[in-house]
Amino acid sequence: MGIMGRFKKQQLYWAIMFSTIILVFIVQSAWYVYYSQFHNISKEADLLFRVLIILSGAVLLAMFFFYNINRIDSRVKKEQERFESIVAAVKDGILIMNDDRSIEFMNEAAEDMTGWKVGEKVPYCSYCQDRDVLPGEERCLLANPEALAYFEADMPVYRGKKQRTFEMSTAFIDQVEENKRQMILVMRDNELKRNEERAKLAQILIHETLAAQEAERKRLAQELHDGIGQSLYSINIGLKAIESGIKKDDTTGRHFSVLEKTLQDVVKEVKTLSYELRPATLDMLGLVPSLQTLIQFLRDQTGKEIVLITEVDEEKRYPAHMELHLYRIVQEALHNAAKYAEATQITVRIREYDRTLELKIMDNGKGFDLEENKKGLGLKHMRERAELLEGELQIHSSALEGTQVICRVPLKEDLDYGTV
C-alpha cells in the first residue's frame, strides 16, 4: 500500500475514534443533565457522573492531541521519503557527518564514488593531511567557520587503495538542543566532469571534421563540374568538329572511335563523382528531391529495385545541416545494401510523427553480424551523424534475414521548417 493509501486509512481510523468518543461524551452529558433535573441523586453519584464526564473530555482532548502528533509525524515521514528520493537521484555525492567525521548518512552516488560506508570516518584530503594547523583551527579546511565556497583536492577512496579528485563544498546543521553540529559534504567527481568535457570536445571535433569534409567535397564537386567537366566538354566538341574529315574504316577512324568512347566514359565518370561528392539538388531543393534523384541514379547504376516511400511534404525544407547528415546516412545505407548485402529489393521510407523525423532503409540482402562489424567506419560515421542531430541510429540485421537501418531525429519546435 502506498503512502497516500496508508494516510487515508489512518484518517478513517481517527475519524471513527473521534466520533465514538464525542458521541459517548454527549450521551453522558445529556443523561447527567436529564437525570439530575428529574431525580434526586446522592453526592457520591453526582461526583461519579462529573468524574466520568471530565474523564471523557480528557480522553477526547488526548485523542485530539495524539491525532495531531500522528498527523505531523506522517507529514515528516512523507517529507523525509521525498527528501531521500531527491538525494538518491542526485549525481553528486552527498553525505552527513558528525563532529568526529563519522558518516551518519550518505546517498548512493557518494557510496559509489568513495566506497565508504555509514559509520566509517571520512578521511582527510591529501592537502589537509599534511598542512600546518593553527591553535584552535580545524584540520579540515571546509570544517572551519569561514570555510571556502568549494575546494578541490585528492581524497583516499576504497580504503586507501585509490586516490580520486573531488570538488567539495560544505554546509552545517547546528542542533542546539543536543549541543551537536553536523556537516553536509557535497562531492563532485572531477573524472566524470572531465569525461563529459571530453565527450563534448569529441562531438565538436567530429562536427568540425565532417563540416570540413563536406566543404572540401563541395569544392571538389564544383571544380569537377566547372573545371574538368567543361574542359572535357570542349574536347568533345573539338572531336566532333574533326570527325567529318576522318574515314571510319581505316586505322585512324578506328582509333578515333575508341578515343571518342573513352572520352564519353570519362565524362560520365566525372559526372558520377561530382554527384556523389555533393549533389546540387541538396542545396537547391532539399532532402526529399535529393533522395529521389539519388535513388533513380542508383537504379540506373545497379539495376536493383529501390523504392522511396515519402510520408512528408516533398517540398518541406529542414535545416541545411540536418538535410546533409540524413542524406549521407541514406547514401551510406544504400551503398552497403547494394554493394555488400547483395540485396535485390531496397525500400527507403521517410515520415514524421510526434515532432520526430524517421528514416528507415530496409533490404532483403544477406545481412551481417552486428558484433563483427560494429567497428566499421561506415556504420561509425552514420551513428556520429545521427548523434550530431541529437538523434539515434538503430541497425537490425542477421545472416540471411536482411537489414533495417532506422534513424530518428527530433524536430525542434523553435525552428522554422519552411518549403522550397
The mean pLDDT value of the chain amounts to: 78
CATH 3.10.20.90 assigned to domain 284-420? The reply is no
In this prediction, residue 345 has a pLDDT band, given cuts at 50, 70 and 90, of: very high
Rounded to two decimals, what is the model's pTM? Answer: 0.52
Given this model, what pLDDT does residue 2 score?
46
Q: State CA 69 to chain mean position distance.
A: 44
Contact 293, 280 (CB under 8 A): no
Residue 19 has pLDDT above 70, yes or no: no
Which residue type sits at 42?
Answer: S
> Which sequence spans correspond to the domains of the chain?
3-89, 93-194, 284-420
Residue 420 has pLDDT above 50, yes or no: no
Dump pLDDT digits (tens) for 244-263: 667 666 777 777 777 778 87
Given this model, what pLDDT does residue 3 score?
45
Q: Which run of H or E residues covers position 164?
A: strand 162-175
Cβ neighbour number for residue 403 with a 10 Å cutoff? 24
Dump pLDDT digits (tens) for 292-301: 988 998 888 8
- Integer-rounded Cα radius of gyration of the chain: 40
Q: CA–CA separation, 353 vs 406, rounded Å?
A: 14
Helices 43-89/3-38 angle, 10° precision: 170
Torsion of the alpha carbons at 209, 210, 216 and 222, rounded to the nearest 10: -170
Q: Which CATH number fits domain 93-194: 3.40.50.2300, 3.40.50.300, 3.10.310.30, 3.30.450.20?
A: 3.30.450.20
